[in-house]
Structure 1
Amino acid sequence: MADWLAARVRASPDATALIDAGSEARLTYGDLDERAGRVAAGLAAHGIGAGDRVGSVLGVGPAAVSFVHAVSRLGAVLVPLSPRLTAGEIGARTRRADCKVLVHDGSADVEASTIDGTVRLVALDALDTSEESSAKERGGTTAETGNERNSESSIGETPANGTSTNGVSTGFDDPLVLLFTSGTTGRPKAVVLTVGNVLASAGASAVRLGVLPGDRWLLALSTGSMGGLAPIYRAVLYGTTLVLQRGFDARRTIGALSTYDCTGISLVPTMLSRVLNVVEPDEEGGRECGSDDGDRKEYDGEGEYEGGFPASVRCVLLGGAPASRELVERCRAGDVPVHPTYGMTETASQVATARPDEAFSNPGTVGRPLVGTTVVAVEDGSVLDPGERGELVVNGPTVTPGYYDDREATDEAFSGHGFHTGDLGYVDDDGRVWVTGRLDDRIVTGGQTVDPEEVSRALREHPAVHEAAVAGLDDAEWGERIGALVVPGGPGTAETSERGVSEGDLDAHCRERLAGYKLPRTIAVAHELPRTESGTIDRNAVKARLRATDAG
């Protein structure tokens, strides 16, 4: 059964489930269960049942967490999408996943005209309109008011709208969530993650990171990714508390970690670097915020800050992009318990994770595979010896059964050795995994994966662009940034070609078609694209031209 919230309520109904760092609202597991029951009833009233795919574009908050568990309660399949996507991207993904409804909270550009009437749009607040829910969103909680509560789940209760819903029994092999990832062709692929995948990942992560009953995990990542979604599922399984931060801000993150005695957080390298900028002494011995009289415990994320990294934190799970050795060294120097991890959507998050001592003594490694997971380096179908570099291939209970309605992509991704990640690396003599590069040209910027062809295609849709090549450029803050080399003069636009193409026009054009993290930050113009003798685009020459543009 995937209704893990119902099981948690029977075990510890009065334990704190959620703390909203913005409103300071607190919900017990009993409170959360009641909310999820009402939202499930609201979804059922829209015809949602077992196996239906439910799209969502939501920010971080108690209502979003209730919604995630409501979808599981019905035996439906969650299809979470990032609020950073454009309306066109959202529409394409909801159609690709055959979503029956798309639930939104106004945090993204969701337009009915873009969905083309094939997917029903539903406002999240329309699924649970009870006064009690609204009060708790503003800060009232059962834990604070002292109202009595029994340990029975709300499954089967009939809410005010008259629609009753019961928990649906699901097996380990049943799909729990579909998450989109960018393929090498730019066509969105929906990764199927089963109940068993997510459960195995939660268990293996707990073994590696360690879990205590009083743990509090700060959620600062988007719930449109597995990095943001996994803590929602895991907290209920562990019986721990989830602290919600609505949008990342380095100072507010430090404030939430300190104020709520958080013990863990997931970050991408760009986020962690910004957090360290706040807590590290400057050249004169002070902090970035410049204070000697701030109260570290009560720091609210505004203005001044005193002290190092919050002592309550035992785990900073660092993933989404490779962590530089410099960043790991900053963590060592600042006594930050960083856990570099290697994972992907197709493995329900973590594949391998290094504990701090291992990360500091072996800078660059992502540690050993989690329990139950195997990682090998493969070349030409053969497993390589330790230390030899090849494509990393993963096998184990967390690995997806495949891509939704895409047999070709699934067959291409799997072999007898397991799932082919597309990443280059090796496994050393001690079983540690090292990731050294990528087989293809995908770009990882700020923890987000971008397919260059998707960006190139958007650029070529501009009437003044004939050709475009996109590549990743090294960036100290983001890891990589998007660069684009364009050839002016689309078909029938000789006049435009003679005038050239405006960088501002291209930026405005792309903003209508691409999420912000996919936008080219460096744009150069050429008479033709550099190519190899075989006629393919010479990526190294493209990067050299873009670097020259940056250099001025």
Structure 2
Amino acid sequence: MRDPVSYQRHAVPDSTAVIDAESGNKWTYADLDRAVEWRAGRLWSLGLRPGDQLGVLADTAPEFVRLVHAAWRIGVVLIPFNTRLSESGLREQVQRVDLAALVAGEPHAKRARTVATAPVRSLSTLDDEPVAEFVAEEQLLDRPRTMLFTSGTTGEPKAVVLTGRNLLSSAVASAFRLGVLPTDRWYDPLAGYHMGGLAPIVRSAIYGTCVVLAGRGGFDAERALADLHERDATGVSVVPTMLSRLLDSGDLPESLRFVLTGGAPTRPELIARCERRGVPIHPTYGMTETASQVATARPEEAFANPERAGRPLACTRIRAIDGNEPLPTGEPGELVVSGPTVMQGYHDDPETNERVFGPHGFHTGDLGSVDPDGSVRVLGRIDDAIITGGENVHPAEVARVLRSHPRVEDCAVVGLPDPEWGERVCALVVGEASAAEVQEFCEGRLAEYKHPKTVAVSDELPRTASGTVDRGAVREILSERSERPE
């Protein structure tokens, strides 16, 4: 398979491929194809060849999109790095791969030169390179196309190797669930170094539809809401906190066919809010290792069963297991995923690959169950389980009870060391309820050993760049701000 843009230049040359919401500039597929060919020639002139690794440290802007497709065109493996990383964090990731070159946007070029041992080129000067002639060959689908780093919040970051087949299969499966129309415009406010931000760029090109780039400078809800209206967006990818802020800012446009939420669990309260406002929310369960979506609920499913993440996508199978033994329907265990979207593996990490792949597929490390109708419940991370006095406590169960308190907006539940019980259950709560009210609320709703022994109230929960709760930061806050009650 050649890169998607090379097909669309013949199929839909005059259709809009990319809109830069910040500048208002637009590119048709014919325009984009010429720009990609030009950029690919410059990469070739740098000595990049099929299979080489090309790092990019740049904002998600039109030049980033051109680089994504140019890398695919010549068979280069693109590795987008997190622009928000510290110098030490960036250096750690760079040292885990084998870059042939690193391209950086102007605000990030200095850091790139500091951490890289490979040649560094600025995006602004890349066009000064000569354009070398090359012949774009068909690329085998099972060859790596991109490598994305996991967040590393619970351990060392790992580079996830995704092939052309992974990306194509993910696009097809998503289309079967969300639908695709020729006039679709997918608004993308997420960073391209995350799968959630890269997916709309790749999928829109595969579909021959339009991706609308939110622009630089981070997420601004009022600006994003205006963009959604002005660009007649039909779809948008967001983390739940983004969606909540969008709803705070006003009404979403009627043009939206789907609002895809991921990166963190979508709370039932937010789903109920979308139902009241007529927002077509599609809560999803997915991960970088599966090229994004694994299970996605349509709005009617989400409204009827807000605790579920929907059914698996086409050609994807999800099972709950204990060890390597499949569990009966409805019984919680580790979720294991198999299908064509599952990654090739972690780069240069055979020990981890041997551990995470088993006879039933990829071991996600997530605790969950599969209901009789096939829909998936995600209950948290297996590693997050709290063992207190010999009893297992799953934080997701405690958090669901706490969120049902009328004066609790959100919460995170973790374990902290305890000299008597090994660990104690602790909660960081957002809302107007006091710590005493939260603890009293648990009476009769949770077994006593599941009651939070330490509760702190905060204005918001600390989150990672992808929108998931930063559990390490939660533990630090609880350790610093709370004392264990006598």
Residue 54 of structure 1: how far off its partner (Å):
0.5
Q: Which residue of 2 aligns with 1:366?
A: 309
Letter in structure 1 aligned against 2:164: V
Q: Which residue of 2 aligns with 1:271?
A: 242
**Rounded Cα–Cα distance in structure 2 between residues aligned with 1:74 and 1:57:** 19
1:210 lines up with 2:153 in the alignment: no
Q: Which residue of 2 aligns with 1:122?
A: 121
Letter in structure 1 aligned against 2:97: A
Q: Which residue of 1 aligns with 2:280?
A: 337
Partners of 2:54 and 2:77 within 8 A in 1:
yes
Q: Which residue of 2 aligns with 1:157?
A: none
Q: Which residue of 2 aligns with 1:349?
A: 292
Partners of 2:271 and 2:281 within 8 A in 1:
yes
Structure 2: which 5+ residue stretches go unaligned? 386-394, 397-413, 415-422, 432-463
Q: Structure 1 residues 350, 30: closer, same or farther in 2, change over 3 A?
A: same
**Rounded Cα–Cα distance in structure 2 between residues aligned with 1:309 and 1:112:** 38
SS in 2 for 1:254: helix
SS in 1 for 2:95: helix
Letter in structure 1 aligned against 2:120: L
**Rounded Cα–Cα distance in structure 1 between residues aligned with 2:267 and 2:184:** 28
Residue 112 of structure 1: how far off its partner (Å):
5.2
Higher relative contact order structure (alpha carbons within 8 Å, sequence separation ≥ 6): 1
Q: TM-score, normalised by structure 2?
A: 0.80
Q: TM-score, normalised by structure 1?
A: 0.71
Partners of 1:315 and 1:337 within 8 A in 2:
yes
Q: Structure 1 residues 431, 522: closer, same or farther in 2, change over 3 A?
A: closer
RMSD, matched Cα: 2.9
Q: Which residue of 1 aligns with 2:450?
A: none
**Rounded Cα–Cα distance in structure 2 between residues aligned with 1:550 and 1:67:** 53
Partners of 1:366 and 1:434 within 8 A in 2:
yes
Residue 547 of structure 1: how far off its partner (Å):
5.5
Instruction: Report the identity percentage.
Output: 47
Q: Structure 1 residues 111, 195: closer, same or farther in 2, change over 3 A?
A: same
Q: Structure 1 residues 9, 433: closer, same or farther in 2, change over 3 A?
A: same
Partners of 2:104 and 2:112 within 8 A in 1:
no
1:63 lines up with 2:34 in the alignment: no
**Rounded Cα–Cα distance in structure 2 between residues aligned with 1:260 and 1:14:** 18
Q: Which residue of 2 aligns with 1:186?
A: 155
After superposition, where does 1:64-463 map in structure 2 within 5 Å? 64-108=64-108, 110-111=110-111, 114-115=114-115, 118-128=117-127, 161-182=130-151, 186-246=155-215, 247-279=218-250, 308-441=251-384
**Residue deviations 1:23-80, cap 9 Å, x none?**
1101111111111111111111111110000011111211110111011111000101
Partners of 1:37 and 1:165 within 8 A in 2:
no
Q: Structure 1 residues 378, 543: closer, same or farther in 2, change over 3 A?
A: farther
After superposition, where does 1:479-518 map in structure 2 within 5 Å? none
Q: Structure 1 residues 380, 516: closer, same or farther in 2, change over 3 A?
A: closer
Q: Structure 1 residues 54, 203: closer, same or farther in 2, change over 3 A?
A: same
**Residue deviations 1:119-170, cap 9 Å, x none?**
21111122235xxxxxxxxxxxxxxxxxxxxxxxxxxxxxx93411221321
Residue 473 of structure 1: how far off its partner (Å):
6.0
Letter in structure 1 aligned against 2:127: D
**Rounded Cα–Cα distance in structure 1 between residues aligned with 2:429 and 2:70:** 40
Structure 1: which 5+ residue stretches go unaligned? 130-159, 280-307, 445-451, 453-468, 478-513, 525-538
Letter in structure 2 aligned against 1:316: V
**Rounded Cα–Cα distance in structure 1 between residues aligned with 2:303 and 2:26:** 37
Residue 106 of structure 1: how far off its partner (Å):
2.6
Partners of 2:50 and 2:74 within 8 A in 1:
yes
Letter in structure 2 aligned against 1:254: L
User: Which structure has the bigger radius of gyration?
Assistant: 1
**Rounded Cα–Cα distance in structure 2 between residues aligned with 1:341 and 1:429:** 19
Partners of 2:263 and 2:468 within 8 A in 1:
no
**Rounded Cα–Cα distance in structure 1 between residues aligned with 2:304 and 2:260:** 17
SS in 1 for 2:75: coil
Q: Which residue of 1 aligns with 2:25?
A: 25
Partners of 1:83 and 1:107 within 8 A in 2:
no
Q: Structure 1 residues 83, 262: closer, same or farther in 2, change over 3 A?
A: same
Letter in structure 2 aligned against 1:125: S
Residue 195 of structure 1: how far off its partner (Å):
0.5
Letter in structure 2 aligned against 1:548: S
Q: Structure 1 residues 547, 473: closer, same or farther in 2, change over 3 A?
A: farther
Q: Structure 1 residues 266, 377: closer, same or farther in 2, change over 3 A?
A: same
**Rounded Cα–Cα distance in structure 2 between residues aligned with 1:79 and 1:366:** 29
Q: Structure 1 residues 78, 520: closer, same or farther in 2, change over 3 A?
A: closer
